[in-house]
Amino acid sequence: MNRKKAIEICRSLSQTMEKMPNGSDLGYLFETPRAKKENLKKIYKRLVKKYKIKENDMALPI
């Protein structure tokens, strides 16, 4: 994967994490089939560290 693709993925991950509710789903018999916010944060941090992505890199158009 190249750096441009990693920046696109980080953008979409950050948008997804912003849209997710902070609380967990309570009262359901089974878990909802969604990614957990903590897992998305781990992936985001790993990509940022590996490709040395900064906040201003994600703000710039590709």
Residue-by-residue pLDDT tens, the chain, 62 positions: 899 999 999 999 999 999 988 766 666 777 778 888 999 999 999 999 999 999 898 887 76
Whether 44 and 13 have beta carbons less than 8 Å apart is answered as yes
Close Cβ partners of 33 (under 8 Å, ≥ 6 residues apart)? none
**Which amino acid is residue 40, in one-letter code?**
L
* b/e code 30-60 from CB counts within 10 Å (16+ = b): eeeeeeeeeebeeebeebbeebebeeebeee
Query: How much is the pLDDT for 42?
Result: 96
